[in-house]
Amino acid sequence: MLSYLRCLGKYAVFRGRAPRREYWGFTIVNAIVLLVILLLHAKFQTGTVHTVFTYTVIIYAALTFIPALAVMVRRWHDLGRTGWWILLNLVPGVGTLVSMCFFLGRGDRGTNDYGRDPRERNIRKRR
């Protein structure tokens, strides 16, 4: 949940790096929230409540679209790749699957072209 809030706090920050925990924390919470809203939307097929949930889905998706792109770009940066790799997701089905496989892997250790290793700061804070 903290990763989700951290990503929303970095609403449109496309520079820097995002470790696995930050990316997957945001992605999983975002998917669960969207799934709950969609299930409620499906439950109410007619009337005002259906309209409210229709707008809720649209507004939520619009509000979380840029943070989702930003955390994806930062995740690519953590892997030592340019953020333009996000375009891989435009390949239907296969592109998203390949991206997910990359995102499961560990990021670069130490400093890379996109900044310091975010895990190094977390280790120092815990000591």
In angstroms, rounded to a whole number, what is the distance separating the alpha carbons of residues 60 and 72? Answer: 18
Domain count, the chain: 1
What share of the chain has pLDDT > 70, as a percent? Answer: 94
pLDDT tens per residue, range 13-70? 999 999 999 999 999 999 999 999 989 888 887 788 888 888 999 999 999 999 999 9
Cα–Cα distances (Å) from 36 to 29, 30, 71, 77, 82, in that order, read 11, 10, 22, 31, 33
Residue 93: its pLDDT value, please? 84
110 confidence band (pLDDT: 50, 70, 90): confident
User: Domain of 95?
Assistant: 2-126
Is the predicted pLDDT of residue 124 greater than 60, yes or no? Answer: no
